[in-house]
Structure 1
Amino acid sequence: MSESYDDDKEKGFVHDVVADAVPGDPIIANRLARYGKLGPIMQKLFASGVEARGVERVPESERESKNVWNNLLMWWSVNCVLTTIPIGVLAQEFYTLTLPHAVAVILCFGALGAVCTSFIAILGPKTGLRTMIITRYSSGYVGGSIYSVLNILTQLGFSVTAVILGGQTLASINPGTLPLVVGIIIVGICSLIPCFVGYNLVHIYERYAWIVVSIVMLFLWGLGGHAGFDISAQKANEDTGRNLSADILSFGGIVFGSVTGWAPVAADYNCRLPANTSSVRVFILTFLGLFIPITFVEILGAALMTITEPAYVDAFTNSGTGGLLSQVLSPWKGGGKFILVLLAMSVVANNIPNTYSAGLSMQALGRPFAIVPRFFWVFLAFVIYTVAGVAGREHFSEILSNFLSILSYWTAFFIVIVAEEHFIFRRPNGPLGGYNLDDWDTPSRLPVGVAGIVAGCCGVAGAVVGMTEVWYTGPIGKAAGGLFGADLGFELAAGFAAVVYAPLRWLEIRLMGR
């Protein structure tokens, strides 16, 4: 056996070296054979640069020694975008928080979310698997499929908010000249192209997209400051006592969800790194790539809402975040409109991983879905979220606030379950002694999944009793807060799942041996 194999085995990651040594990829070859008459066409398409691999594990022989710093650059590009600004705007728009309180919430809950997502990211190089396939090692084949459904909805929801905001901003540049529907379609098509090609083009785009947009964000900070940030602007409207605590917890759940929304896809974008890539380095670079741009831009959104000049207030009231940004850039006239175009198109960087991973999650639903080429599912995702964006284009803020709150619920218990499996049961000296990575698509050798599914259901129960939404408030959420309740959905979802999963998984292993 090779030295790399021995090293991986000691760490609990077992590979089939014989299969890895075979020239080419037998899984991809088998897939081409199943396409029948379409096989030669697909082969030419794949040979032209379109990614052939879908959810199949990337063997050691096909890993690429790319710079691990790409983790930092990619996540920076993904989050230093227009779509991150409205999350900060919600602090004042829905929760009447003053800027100091908004900043504190963004920093604290943003750091917590970044830690959770960065943990999931380290599993990519170690396993060579996509995130939704990794869930099979804790929740079984059926449980993994359930998570895939949740992730499909998550990524499509992110995409809907991205195309709406991008379209709104394009339409606000010269009001009346570009219909909002056309703007939404433009953003959607631009997001589709790199995802259709696949992994390599996604990384190439994200490696550089952050540069221009980061400069644009600095421009917005400068112009906003020139217009006049008023730190005490919301003081008169801010709640006090238990109502204030409720607002902080509810907004914190939204911030947490905006970061952990990337957890179900975090391993998708580094599964081609060598297995011996430093986990500490991957964790730190992913954390920085998430935390710095997300907090920087969300705080910008909160700060822009403190501008009290009537023109700025009216711009937001009439045209939402896009109108506010247009007003902020208005002193630069034509130059400001050009920057608005850059801002509008920045959502493409954010929407690319949504689209790409939605396609992978569709493949992860099961073998019949995995046989269908990845690019087909990517195209289907594009159609779905573009149509949904057109339909919901007049309700952006409501979609964003409700979606991000609900998102934080399931990602919280998903992360807890995967973490307990990894640190308790899959540790080198644990009950299972590691991951047998060749079992990724063999249901009979994967966990039965009862523990993972039951723990997930308990997580849902925790979210239900702790949530505070416009359409429903759970009993614990209502008791914890003031007039409208405090959203404790993600905290209770994680807590319920954590308590239930470990003993059930231990029992499952004792009874089933896997």
Structure 2
Amino acid sequence: MTIGAPTDQPDAHAAPQADYRDKVLAVEPGGNEQIPLEARHGTPRGLFWTWTAPNLEFATIFVGVISVLYFGLSFWQAVAAMALGNLLGAAAHFLLSAEGPLHGVPQMVLGRLAFGYRGNVIPATFMAVMCGVGWFATNSVSGAFALSSLFGMTPLVGLVVIVVLQTSFAFFGHNLVQRFERIAAPILAVIFVIGAVIIFGKSQLGAPSADGGFSTGGFLLTVGAAFGYTAGWTPYAADYTRYLPPTVSKIQTGLFASAGLFLSTTFLMVVGAASITIGDPVSDNPTEAFTANLPSAVADLTLLAIAIGAVAANAINVYSGAMAFVTMGFRLPVGLQRALVTVFFGVVGFLVAWWALDDAAASYEAFLLLVAYWIGPWLGVVFADRLLRREQPPLALLYDTGYRNWAGVAAFVVALVGSVLLFCNQEKFVGIVVRAVPELGDIGAFVGFVIAFLGYLVLARGQVEESQRAYR
């Protein structure tokens, strides 16, 4: 580990966010600077809606659909698997969200503790590409299909409308994104609850699984897919709590954020699983197949909700994807660096979504597990660092371009590569262990977490202690 002068440390009191505070229709200035005390505002309660709205959309429903349709589980088996995966993801979100008010910096800036200033570029790149672009494209596709079904337009035209809306919200930044989520969440919840009541009334919840028994592989695949979806939000956690005053309760901050995440994901995933017990899909358009089970008026409202939900999810995805990109250290105009990168991700995400329109179902199933593969090792390194670091790190350490912690990089890379080679279960590649024991399903993310966590504890103890002494 090397520690140098904090050559990239921003002056907290000169941060451009000082004049931003609670303005809504204003472009959030700056990039990854610490939020000064005079710009802090809000309460933890609002986080419940922040993390409810982006999950009230079709991508969440589709996790439940694939658990029964592709992974072969019965409804109740799917419910247990999805609840477990969501609970694990929400627990991680609780811990990371709670740190935001204390430090006042984005999640990927906090990641520099475990990876070093330069080493943190690796997980930041994963987040920017797979979350800021990948999730953006995935959710844009479902929104495009919903608008296509609702208004009779082509999916491509629907995609253009969705991308323009969600990129505009993210361009303005934190406050407008938060306000939109709080307005959208109750509206989306009411529509989806109405649809859920009708679907549960038609469903056959006691229907057996595809093979009439219990599939360990299908169960673990579903746990992994649900975890990949819900834990996919964890690299964003502090981005939406860093504006809160440092005096707010850490317990309340983590609880409201994780509760909104767990309840919304579990609710709609369960609805998706129930919808498949009604009968086989009637359309290749996944949103149309889902709403075919609903009366026409409710179906139209649900399609509209799916489109709005896609915008709610992607406003967050592209915002935090841009934040991760800025954290890599690229030099851009300070006042607009985050906003400019947001537009770039909107364009790239549109192109990826356009490419995925032809085979949305297969693309989504593979993508969920791919997200989980890197999230597991990343969480393992981050949590191990928190365990070793007993004191609050100073701001200087987070912005010191000379700070190195290659133990985090080594633990992450070894865990990622090892878990994929041994435990991956994808159509195009099956890991060595899974080939021998297919019943394992896909536990790559969880194996990656354990390897990274233990590896970092062994490799980084001395480095963490040295960095703590150097900045004490």
2:200 is the alignment partner of 1:225: yes
After superposition, residues 108-507 of structure 1 pair within 5 angstroms as 108-155=84-131, 156-174=133-151, 177-226=152-201, 228-235=202-209, 237-238=210-211, 240=213, 244-308=215-279, 313-315=280-282, 318-329=283-294, 331=295, 333-334=296-297, 336-369=299-332, 371=334, 373-425=337-389, 427=390, 433-444=391-402, 446=403, 448-460=404-416, 461-482=418-439, 486-507=441-462
* Residues 162-196 of structure 1: per-residue CA shift (max 9 Å, x gap): 1101111111225xx30010111111111011111
Displacement of 1:19 in angstroms is 5.6
Answer yes or no: is the 8 Å Cα contact 2:217–2:438 preserved in 1: yes
The residue aligned with 1:51 is: 28
Cα RMSD over matched residues?
2.3
Displacement of 1:348 in angstroms is 0.8
Answer yes or no: is the 8 Å Cα contact 1:154–1:261 preserved in 2: no
Residue type of the alignment partner of 1:435: P
Distance 1:479 1:490 in 2: 18
Residue type of the alignment partner of 2:156: V
Displacement of 1:47 in angstroms is 12
Displacement of 1:255 in angstroms is 0.3
- Name the stretch that deviates more: 375-384 or 405-414: 405-414
Displacement of 1:223 in angstroms is 1.9
Answer yes or no: is the 8 Å Cα contact 1:91–1:251 preserved in 2: yes
Answer yes or no: is the 8 Å Cα contact 2:388–2:464 preserved in 1: no
Return 5+ residue gaps in structure 2 as ranges.
Answer: 1-9
Displacement of 1:339 in angstroms is 3.7
Distance 2:358 2:442 in 1: 26
Answer yes or no: is the 8 Å Cα contact 2:383–2:453 preserved in 1: no
Distance 1:370 1:415 in 2: 31
Displacement of 1:342 in angstroms is 2.8
* Residues 403-459 of structure 1: per-residue CA shift (max 9 Å, x gap): 11011121111112111211222x1xxxxx330113322222x3x121100010121
CA gap of 1:61–1:375, structure 2 versus 1, over 3 A, is same
Distance 1:322 1:249 in 2: 26
CA gap of 1:47–1:394, structure 2 versus 1, over 3 A, is closer
* Residues 302-356 of structure 1: per-residue CA shift (max 9 Å, x gap): 0000003xxxx351xx324212233122x2x345324422332221111111011
Answer yes or no: is the 8 Å Cα contact 1:127–1:271 preserved in 2: yes
Task: Give TM-score, length-normalised by structure 2.
Answer: 0.91
Answer yes or no: is the 8 Å Cα contact 2:114–2:405 preserved in 1: yes
Distance 1:470 1:395 in 2: 14
Distance 1:263 1:82 in 2: 20
Distance 1:342 1:450 in 2: 45
Answer yes or no: is the 8 Å Cα contact 1:96–1:239 preserved in 2: no
Distance 2:333 2:230 in 1: 28
Displacement of 1:131 in angstroms is 0.6
Answer yes or no: is the 8 Å Cα contact 1:220–1:328 preserved in 2: no
Residue type of the alignment partner of 1:190: L
- Name the stretch that deviates more: 53-62 or 186-195: 53-62
Displacement of 1:239 in angstroms is 6.5
CA gap of 1:346–1:367, structure 2 versus 1, over 3 A, is closer
Identical aligned residues as a percent: 22
Answer yes or no: is the 8 Å Cα contact 1:158–1:351 preserved in 2: yes
Answer yes or no: is the 8 Å Cα contact 1:192–1:352 preserved in 2: yes
Residue type of the alignment partner of 1:201: L
Structure having greater relative contact order (Cα 8 Å, sep ≥ 6): 2
Residue type of the alignment partner of 1:271: R
Return 5+ residue gaps in structure 1 as ranges.
Answer: 1-17, 30-42, 428-432
Task: Give TM-score, length-normalised by structure 1.
Answer: 0.84
Structure of greater Rg: 1
CA gap of 1:56–1:99, structure 2 versus 1, over 3 A, is same
- Aligned residue for 1:70, secondary structure, equals helix
